[in-house]
Chains A and B, each alone.
Chain A
Amino acid sequence: MVSMTKARHSLGLVGLSPIECAKIATFIESEAEAAGCPWLVLHSDSCDALIVPADVEFSADPYQVLIRLVRFGGTPGEGLSITTPISARELMDVLKQAQELLGRQQKPAATGSLRVKMEDWGGMPANDRHDVPARDIPAGFGTTARHMTDGSAALKTDPYAVAAQITHPHAQPSAMATPQPVQQMPPQPAAHAGYGEAGEFSAAWDQIAVALYSIVQNSAPAVAEIRVENLDMIRIDFRFRAYNSRIPLEQVNTHGHRIAIRSTLVEAYRPPIVNLPGESLDKLFWFIGSQAFHGMAAPWLKPEERYRLRRWPNFTELNHAVADMRTAAAIGNCYLNAAELSSAAGITPEAATRTLNAYSLMGLLEIQANRSAPPVVFTPPPPEKSGGLFSKLRTKLGL
């Protein structure tokens, strides 16, 4: 059985034509799983490996493996390369070599090697905005700090749209859930993104969450499609912070294992791919963020950091529970980590972690700059029955 937390590498496609991107994406979707080299393809230049045209001047960071795409008439240089026309076999071979190289590199402790680009502080939208931008910015999952303008930022003006996709390679059922046809899925309870047993996400959604986080961090105009098995599809247009889904999110097959996300950079003037106004992207992020990662912290969150809300989530458009309001009130008024949030809001540590994951994906959190600041010590909230007006109203209104 394949482990749900199996470490994978990310592959960035930089400066390639749309056709080249699409071809690579298709090959990886169809071949990588069988070839035993699962890759997460992103339109990020901060990935573990990058495929860059051979004729483009480019310097990768030391941690990155650079694969040169040699077009017709070009000369392969040193290091890894592939040539056009791209073949699936050649691509798989070079990716295996890249995997070996990455495997020999020293890995950051505790977390996978998946990297995502951290935000451009001047760009919007941006997640997890730090209140003191001048400080070091953590880049990705447990890696050392770096800024996005390091390395390959000059290539961001590339005129080609860059296609990216991730596919979930796990053909076998995960340990947590069994795939079921969509029509047999019971609707999720109308509460906080229902993370009970019935609502448990398959591990594939963890990768979807990571990919979405990465796309948002990139701040570039992008669109994406999430395809869920049994033909469910969610279309996202990040430019308008909107999505469309054929069926309500609550009925999306969260147990599914065949899930893929494709994203493409688009020019700002291109028409939207969703029917505007569509649904708010926050709704999707809330849904995925609060259910992904099985109650563990999202890989981009750090246990030693404290967070505070930049603004409240727009609860009127989210599938929320009354307890979520207390949670938002707590983290809206002071910097807290998951344990402190759990204590302040009177919720379980797991629920606090899920909430932080969701808020983070939604871009609602800022990180406390002063890590040595003393924690806020809370007197535990009073029990429901003897509680304040909130608890009484909750009972009165039957919420």
Chain B
Amino acid sequence: MAEHVILFAGPMGAGKTTAIESLSEIETIRTEANNTDRETADKDTTTVALDYGEITVGDEDKVRLYGVPGQRRFNFMWTILKERAVGLVLLVNNDAADPIQELADFLDEFGDLHEKGGVVVCVTRSDVATSPHIDQYAEKIREVLPGRMIPVFTADARNTDQMRTCLMSLIANIEMTAMIAASQERAA
């Protein structure tokens, strides 16, 4: 069975756990602890190891969805989970103090996944904070990863359709990038 590991990363409170729940067809495995860091994100619990969900596609493929903790103090989990990943859904909450900088920080950590497969950025809570606009995220991506085309969407992590759009776009981009690379290789 072919495994396709997709990572869900992003700052605390961006909606990673919820996004995986929206997509997974199994009951998600969550490793949440009571959140004592209310200054960073005002929510009751926070992921401290990983979240896990999956989608089985026929008899041959399984899409494994791993959520990593948002806080940098858990970056050892980032390293562990990144090794097997072929794609990244990077979630950023638009009502954070400096979401564009958070995007840059996470791209700095996870941007290499674009070379291994692909990355898609989901801007959450854009209904709560209407700015920055996704153009500004796209601009930052061009600055941090010049020459790369990373899809940016606004999304509600609770909305299964929207999260499917994000996931499908990620996979479409991964496959298309591979196809272009193969075509160019043959042409060379």
A residues adjacent to B (C-beta < 8 A): 125, 241, 276-277, 309-312, 314-317, 320, 322, 325-326, 328-330, 332-334, 344, 376-379, 381, 388-390, 392-394, 396-397, 399
User: Across the interface, which residues of B come within 8 angstroms of A333, CB to CB?
Assistant: 149, 173, 176-177, 180
Q: Are B153 and A378 within 8 A (Cβ)?
A: no
Q: A310-B138, A314-B152, A389-B175 provided; 6 other pairs, C-beta below 8 A? A: A309-B149, A311-B138, A325-B172, A332-B149, A332-B176, A344-B180
Q: A381-B179, A389-B4, A397-B164 are in contact. Are A329 and B169 (CB under 8 A)?
A: yes
Q: Which one, B12-20, B32-40, B57-65, B76-84, is touching chain A?
A: B57-65
The list of the 9 closest CB pairs from A to B, nearest first, reads: A329-B176, A311-B138, A312-B151, A332-B149, A325-B172, A329-B172, A316-B162, A329-B173, A392-B57
The reply on B171 being an interface residue by CB < 8 A is yes
User: Across the interface, which residues of B come within 8 angstroms of A332, CB to CB?
Assistant: 149, 151, 173, 176
User: Across the interface, which residues of B come within 8 angstroms of A241, CB to CB?
Assistant: 133
A191 to B26, CA, bound (A): 28
A378 to B139, CA, bound (A): 28
Kindly identify which residue among B149, B165, B176 contacts A316, using a CB–CB cutoff of 8 Å: B165
Kindly identify which residue among B61, B149, B171, B180 contacts A376, using a CB–CB cutoff of 8 Å: B180
Q: Total A-B residue pairs with C-beta atoms closer than 8 Å?
A: 112
A-B pairs with beta carbons under 8 Å apart, 22 shown: A311-B135, A311-B149, A311-B151, A312-B153, A312-B169, A316-B166, A325-B168, A328-B151, A329-B172, A332-B149, A333-B177, A334-B180, A344-B176, A344-B180, A378-B180, A381-B179, A392-B60, A392-B61, A393-B55, A393-B167, A397-B164, A397-B168
In the assembled complex, the CB of B31 is this many whole angstroms from the nearest CB of chain A, namely 26
Q: Are A388 and B180 within 8 A (Cβ)?
A: no
Q: Are B63 and A389 within 8 A (Cβ)?
A: yes
Chain B contributes a number of interface residues (CB within 8 A of A) equal to 41
The reply on B187 being an interface residue by CB < 8 A is yes
User: Across the interface, which residues of B come within 8 angstroms of A344, CB to CB?
Assistant: 176, 179-180
Q: A311-B134, A378-B180, A392-B58 are in contact. Are A399 and B152 (CB under 8 A)?
A: no
A334 to B151, CA, bound (A): 14
The reply on B154 being an interface residue by CB < 8 A is yes
The dominant DSSP class at the B interface is: helix
A381 to B182, CA, bound (A): 12
Q: Are A379 and B175 within 8 A (Cβ)?
A: no
The reply on B73 being an interface residue by CB < 8 A is no
Flag B63-103 by CB within 8 Å of A: 1 or 0 each: 10000000000000000000000000000000000000000
Q: Are B171 and A328 within 8 A (Cβ)?
A: no
User: Across the interface, which residues of A come within 8 angstroms of B176, CB to CB?
Assistant: 326, 329-330, 332-333, 344
The reply on B155 being an interface residue by CB < 8 A is yes
Kindly identify which residue among B130, B153, B165, B177 contacts A329, using a CB–CB cutoff of 8 Å: B177
Q: Are A390 and B168 within 8 A (Cβ)?
A: yes
User: Across the interface, which residues of A come within 8 angstroms of B167, CB to CB?
Assistant: 393
Q: A311-B152, A389-B63 are in contact. Are A396 and B55 (CB under 8 A)?
A: yes
User: Across the interface, which residues of A come within 8 angstroms of B168, CB to CB?
Assistant: 322, 325, 390, 393-394, 397, 399
Within 8 A of A (CB), among B127-152: 127, 130, 133-135, 138, 149-152
Smallest CB-CB separation from B151: which chain A residue? A312
Q: Are B63 and A315 within 8 A (Cβ)?
A: no
A312 to B153, CA, bound (A): 8
Smallest CB-CB separation from A317: which chain B residue? B154
User: Across the interface, which residues of B come within 8 angstroms of A309, CB to CB?
Assistant: 149
